[in-house]
Amino acid sequence: MSETKSDVLLEVKNLHKAFDKHVVLNDVNTTVRKGDVIAIIGPSGCGKSTFLRSLNMLEMPTGGHVLFHGTDLTDKSVNINQIREKIGMVFQHFNLFPNMTIRENICLAPVKLKLMTKEEASKKADELLERVGLKDKADTYPAMLSGGQKQRVAIARALAMNPEVMLFDEPTSALDPEMVGEVLTIIKELAQSGMTMLIVTHEMGFAKEVSNRCMFFSDGNITEENAPKEFFENPQSPRLKEFLSKVL
Ligand code: ADP
Ligand code: MG
Protein backbone atom coordinates (compact mmCIF):
# COMPACT_ATOMS: atom_id res chain seq x y z
CA MET A 1 0.00 0.00 0.00
CA SER A 2 1.45 3.35 -0.93
CA GLU A 3 1.85 5.90 1.80
CA THR A 4 -0.31 8.97 1.71
CA LYS A 5 0.02 12.19 3.63
CA SER A 6 -3.01 11.21 5.70
CA ASP A 7 -1.13 8.20 7.13
CA VAL A 8 1.11 10.58 9.06
CA LEU A 9 -0.21 11.33 12.55
CA LEU A 10 2.71 12.95 14.31
CA GLU A 11 5.86 14.60 13.03
CA VAL A 12 8.63 15.43 15.44
CA LYS A 13 11.08 17.92 14.03
CA ASN A 14 14.32 18.93 15.71
CA LEU A 15 12.70 18.53 19.11
CA HIS A 16 14.77 20.07 21.86
CA LYS A 17 14.04 20.16 25.57
CA ALA A 18 16.21 21.54 28.30
CA PHE A 19 15.46 22.09 31.96
CA ASP A 20 17.54 25.20 32.63
CA LYS A 21 20.97 24.24 31.28
CA HIS A 22 20.30 20.51 31.39
CA VAL A 23 19.61 19.37 27.82
CA VAL A 24 17.37 16.28 27.92
CA LEU A 25 16.23 16.04 24.29
CA ASN A 26 18.61 17.16 21.61
CA ASP A 27 17.31 17.40 18.06
CA VAL A 28 14.91 14.45 18.02
CA ASN A 29 13.31 13.71 14.66
CA THR A 30 10.73 11.06 13.86
CA THR A 31 7.41 10.46 12.13
CA VAL A 32 4.56 8.42 13.59
CA ARG A 33 2.13 6.89 11.14
CA LYS A 34 -1.36 5.55 11.67
CA GLY A 35 -1.13 2.04 13.10
CA ASP A 36 2.46 2.36 14.31
CA VAL A 37 3.19 0.61 17.58
CA ILE A 38 6.45 2.11 18.77
CA ALA A 39 8.38 0.71 21.71
CA ILE A 40 10.64 3.27 23.38
CA ILE A 41 13.51 1.71 25.21
CA GLY A 42 16.48 3.14 27.04
CA PRO A 43 18.22 3.64 30.36
CA SER A 44 16.58 5.47 33.23
CA GLY A 45 16.90 9.25 33.01
CA CYS A 46 17.62 9.34 29.27
CA GLY A 47 14.53 11.40 28.45
CA LYS A 48 11.87 8.84 27.48
CA SER A 49 9.14 10.39 29.64
CA THR A 50 10.15 13.88 28.60
CA PHE A 51 9.85 12.83 24.97
CA LEU A 52 6.35 11.37 25.44
CA ARG A 53 5.22 14.38 27.45
CA SER A 54 6.55 16.71 24.77
CA LEU A 55 4.26 15.11 22.20
CA ASN A 56 1.17 16.59 23.82
CA MET A 57 2.88 19.63 25.33
CA LEU A 58 2.77 18.40 28.93
CA GLU A 59 6.37 19.49 28.59
CA MET A 60 6.79 22.56 26.43
CA PRO A 61 9.66 22.00 23.99
CA THR A 62 12.51 24.51 24.16
CA GLY A 63 13.07 24.06 20.44
CA GLY A 64 11.73 22.32 17.37
CA HIS A 65 8.21 21.32 16.46
CA VAL A 66 5.60 18.62 17.01
CA LEU A 67 2.99 18.40 14.28
CA PHE A 68 -0.27 16.50 14.77
CA HIS A 69 -2.10 16.05 11.48
CA GLY A 70 0.07 18.91 10.24
CA THR A 71 -0.88 21.29 13.07
CA ASP A 72 2.13 22.61 14.93
CA LEU A 73 1.38 22.03 18.61
CA THR A 74 4.20 24.34 19.70
CA ASP A 75 2.25 27.20 18.14
CA LYS A 76 0.79 29.16 21.05
CA SER A 77 -2.45 29.82 19.20
CA VAL A 78 -3.31 26.10 19.02
CA ASN A 79 -6.02 24.91 21.41
CA ILE A 80 -3.90 22.23 23.04
CA ASN A 81 -6.75 20.88 25.19
CA GLN A 82 -8.66 19.99 22.06
CA ILE A 83 -5.62 18.19 20.66
CA ARG A 84 -5.07 16.31 23.94
CA GLU A 85 -8.49 14.74 23.54
CA LYS A 86 -7.03 12.90 20.57
CA ILE A 87 -3.80 11.89 22.30
CA GLY A 88 -4.56 9.54 25.19
CA MET A 89 -2.01 9.06 27.92
CA VAL A 90 -1.50 6.36 30.51
CA PHE A 91 1.05 6.85 33.28
CA GLN A 92 3.04 4.57 35.52
CA HIS A 93 0.88 5.64 38.47
CA PHE A 94 -2.71 5.33 37.43
CA ASN A 95 -3.86 8.78 38.60
CA LEU A 96 -7.47 7.70 39.14
CA PHE A 97 -9.67 10.00 41.20
CA PRO A 98 -10.09 8.18 44.53
CA ASN A 99 -13.39 9.83 45.47
CA MET A 100 -15.15 8.75 42.27
CA THR A 101 -16.43 5.37 41.21
CA ILE A 102 -14.78 3.57 38.34
CA ARG A 103 -17.62 4.57 36.01
CA GLU A 104 -17.40 8.21 37.13
CA ASN A 105 -13.65 8.18 36.53
CA ILE A 106 -14.22 7.05 32.96
CA CYS A 107 -17.16 9.37 32.24
CA LEU A 108 -15.68 12.51 33.75
CA ALA A 109 -13.70 13.95 30.84
CA PRO A 110 -16.04 13.12 27.93
CA VAL A 111 -19.01 14.62 29.83
CA LYS A 112 -17.14 17.64 31.15
CA LEU A 113 -15.84 18.42 27.69
CA LYS A 114 -19.34 17.94 26.30
CA LEU A 115 -18.21 15.24 23.89
CA MET A 116 -20.94 12.93 25.17
CA THR A 117 -24.08 13.09 27.26
CA LYS A 118 -23.99 11.39 30.67
CA GLU A 119 -25.95 8.49 29.22
CA GLU A 120 -23.65 8.08 26.23
CA ALA A 121 -20.56 8.25 28.41
CA SER A 122 -22.01 5.72 30.83
CA LYS A 123 -22.77 3.31 28.00
CA LYS A 124 -19.28 3.81 26.61
CA ALA A 125 -17.79 3.22 30.09
CA ASP A 126 -19.62 -0.10 30.31
CA GLU A 127 -18.36 -1.15 26.89
CA LEU A 128 -14.79 -0.20 27.77
CA LEU A 129 -14.93 -1.90 31.15
CA GLU A 130 -16.09 -5.04 29.40
CA ARG A 131 -13.17 -4.71 27.01
CA VAL A 132 -10.65 -4.50 29.85
CA GLY A 133 -12.39 -7.30 31.77
CA LEU A 134 -13.79 -5.18 34.60
CA LYS A 135 -17.48 -4.95 33.83
CA ASP A 136 -18.45 -5.84 37.39
CA LYS A 137 -16.32 -3.04 38.91
CA ALA A 138 -18.17 -0.02 37.47
CA ASP A 139 -19.70 1.04 40.77
CA THR A 140 -16.75 0.38 43.04
CA TYR A 141 -13.98 2.81 44.00
CA PRO A 142 -10.31 2.72 42.94
CA ALA A 143 -9.18 1.77 46.46
CA MET A 144 -11.00 -1.54 46.08
CA LEU A 145 -9.01 -2.53 43.00
CA SER A 146 -5.61 -4.14 42.59
CA GLY A 147 -2.85 -2.23 40.81
CA GLY A 148 -3.41 -4.19 37.62
CA GLN A 149 -7.13 -3.48 37.72
CA LYS A 150 -6.50 0.23 38.34
CA GLN A 151 -4.22 0.41 35.34
CA ARG A 152 -6.83 -1.33 33.19
CA VAL A 153 -9.33 1.33 34.33
CA ALA A 154 -6.81 4.06 33.46
CA ILE A 155 -6.56 2.58 29.97
CA ALA A 156 -10.35 2.46 29.65
CA ARG A 157 -10.53 6.08 30.81
CA ALA A 158 -8.07 7.19 28.15
CA LEU A 159 -9.98 5.24 25.49
CA ALA A 160 -13.25 6.91 26.47
CA MET A 161 -12.10 10.00 24.59
CA ASN A 162 -11.74 8.02 21.36
CA PRO A 163 -8.08 9.00 20.97
CA GLU A 164 -6.22 8.58 17.70
CA VAL A 165 -2.99 7.75 19.42
CA MET A 166 -2.13 6.42 22.87
CA LEU A 167 0.98 7.21 24.86
CA PHE A 168 1.97 4.72 27.55
CA ASP A 169 4.70 5.70 29.98
CA GLU A 170 5.94 2.55 31.71
CA PRO A 171 2.40 1.30 32.27
CA THR A 172 3.51 -1.80 34.20
CA SER A 173 6.49 -0.49 36.16
CA ALA A 174 4.52 0.19 39.33
CA LEU A 175 2.78 -3.18 39.34
CA ASP A 176 3.48 -6.32 41.31
CA PRO A 177 4.90 -8.92 38.92
CA GLU A 178 1.77 -11.07 38.90
CA MET A 179 -0.28 -8.14 37.55
CA VAL A 180 1.99 -7.15 34.70
CA GLY A 181 0.58 -9.75 32.30
CA GLU A 182 -3.06 -8.66 32.52
CA VAL A 183 -2.14 -5.07 31.64
CA LEU A 184 0.19 -6.06 28.80
CA THR A 185 -2.57 -8.27 27.39
CA ILE A 186 -4.94 -5.30 27.20
CA ILE A 187 -2.31 -3.14 25.52
CA LYS A 188 -1.53 -5.93 23.08
CA GLU A 189 -5.19 -6.29 22.16
CA LEU A 190 -5.37 -2.56 21.62
CA ALA A 191 -2.35 -2.70 19.33
CA GLN A 192 -3.89 -5.54 17.38
CA SER A 193 -7.08 -3.52 16.96
CA GLY A 194 -5.01 -0.98 15.00
CA MET A 195 -4.52 1.70 17.64
CA THR A 196 -1.48 3.87 17.05
CA MET A 197 0.70 3.90 20.14
CA LEU A 198 4.01 4.81 21.68
CA ILE A 199 4.99 2.73 24.68
CA VAL A 200 7.89 3.40 27.00
CA THR A 201 8.63 0.01 28.48
CA HIS A 202 11.23 -2.17 30.12
CA GLU A 203 9.31 -5.30 29.09
CA MET A 204 11.56 -6.43 26.26
CA GLY A 205 9.61 -9.57 25.30
CA PHE A 206 6.45 -7.50 25.04
CA ALA A 207 8.20 -4.78 23.01
CA LYS A 208 9.52 -7.35 20.58
CA GLU A 209 6.17 -9.07 20.20
CA VAL A 210 3.84 -6.08 19.97
CA SER A 211 5.72 -3.25 18.26
CA ASN A 212 6.51 -2.64 14.63
CA ARG A 213 9.27 -0.14 15.51
CA CYS A 214 11.70 -0.11 18.41
CA MET A 215 13.52 3.06 19.36
CA PHE A 216 16.56 3.23 21.60
CA PHE A 217 16.90 6.49 23.47
CA SER A 218 20.29 7.61 24.77
CA ASP A 219 22.21 10.86 24.91
CA GLY A 220 19.05 12.89 24.39
CA ASN A 221 18.11 11.30 21.11
CA ILE A 222 16.86 8.24 19.25
CA THR A 223 20.27 6.72 18.70
CA GLU A 224 19.03 3.54 17.07
CA GLU A 225 15.76 2.46 15.54
CA ASN A 226 14.82 -0.77 13.88
CA ALA A 227 12.10 -3.34 13.35
CA PRO A 228 11.83 -5.40 16.55
CA LYS A 229 13.55 -8.55 15.33
CA GLU A 230 16.56 -6.62 14.03
CA PHE A 231 16.60 -4.34 17.04
CA PHE A 232 16.88 -7.21 19.53
CA GLU A 233 18.79 -9.77 17.49
CA ASN A 234 21.17 -7.52 15.64
CA PRO A 235 21.78 -4.30 17.57
CA GLN A 236 24.24 -1.99 15.84
CA SER A 237 25.59 0.51 18.34
CA PRO A 238 27.80 -0.44 21.29
CA ARG A 239 25.38 1.43 23.58
CA LEU A 240 22.39 -0.67 22.55
CA LYS A 241 24.43 -3.87 22.63
CA GLU A 242 25.50 -3.09 26.16
CA PHE A 243 21.99 -2.09 27.24
CA LEU A 244 20.43 -5.26 25.83
CA SER A 245 23.12 -7.46 27.35
CA LYS A 246 22.05 -6.13 30.76
CA VAL A 247 18.28 -6.38 30.37
CA LEU A 248 17.77 -9.52 28.28
P1 ADP B 1 13.30 8.71 31.64
O2 ADP B 1 11.83 8.73 31.50
O3 ADP B 1 14.02 8.19 30.45
O4 ADP B 1 13.74 7.98 32.88
P5 ADP B 1 12.99 11.56 32.08
O6 ADP B 1 12.46 12.07 30.80
O7 ADP B 1 12.04 11.38 33.20
O8 ADP B 1 13.82 10.21 31.81
O9 ADP B 1 14.13 12.51 32.59
C10 ADP B 1 15.24 12.87 31.79
C11 ADP B 1 16.09 13.87 32.55
O12 ADP B 1 15.38 15.08 32.68
C13 ADP B 1 16.47 13.43 33.95
O14 ADP B 1 17.79 13.82 34.19
C15 ADP B 1 15.51 14.19 34.83
O16 ADP B 1 16.07 14.46 36.07
C17 ADP B 1 15.29 15.47 34.04
N18 ADP B 1 13.96 16.05 34.26
C19 ADP B 1 12.78 15.48 33.92
N20 ADP B 1 11.74 16.27 34.25
C21 ADP B 1 12.28 17.38 34.81
C22 ADP B 1 11.75 18.60 35.37
N23 ADP B 1 10.43 18.82 35.38
N24 ADP B 1 12.63 19.50 35.85
C25 ADP B 1 13.96 19.28 35.81
N26 ADP B 1 14.53 18.18 35.32
C27 ADP B 1 13.72 17.23 34.82
MG1 MG C 1 10.32 7.90 32.63
- The CB density around residue 45, as the number of other CB atoms within 10 Å, is 9
CA distances to 26, 34, 110, 163, 213 from 166, rounded to whole Å, are: 23, 11, 16, 7, 15
240 lines ligand 1 (CB under 6 A): no
- Are 155 and 190 in contact, with CB atoms under 8 Å apart? yes
pLDDT tens, per residue, the chain with 248 residues: 555 667 999 999 999 999 999 999 999 999 999 999 999 999 999 999 999 999 999 999 999 999 999 999 999 999 999 999 999 999 999 999 999 999 999 999 999 999 999 999 999 999 999 999 999 999 999 999 999 999 999 999 999 999 999 999 999 999 999 999 999 999 999 999 999 999 999 999 999 999 999 999 999 999 999 999 999 999 999 999 999 999 98
SS3 214: strand
| pLDDT score, position 3 | 58
Coil/strand/helix, residue 119? helix
**218 CA → ligand 1 middle, Å:** 13
Alpha carbon nearest to ligand 1 atom 26, residue: 19
- From 150, 147, 124, select the one nearest 137 (Cα to Cα): 150
Of 63, 54, 28, residue with least CA distance to 225: 28
| 150 CA to centre of ligand 1 in angstroms | 25
Amino acid in position 231: F
User: How confident is the model at residue 111, as a pLDDT?
Assistant: 97
Q: Residues 73, 56: contact at Cβ < 8 Å? A: yes
User: Could you give the CA distance from residue 139 to residue 100 in angstroms, rounded to a whole number?
Assistant: 9
Q: How many CB atoms sit inside 10 A of residue 148's CB?
A: 21
Report pTM.
0.96
Predicted pLDDT of residue 189 = 97
Q: Roughly what angle, to the nearest 10 degrees, separates helices 118-131 and 102-112? A: 130
Judging by DSSP bridges, how do beta strands 196-200 and 165-169 pair with one another? parallel
Cα of 133 to ligand 1 centre, how many Å?
A: 34
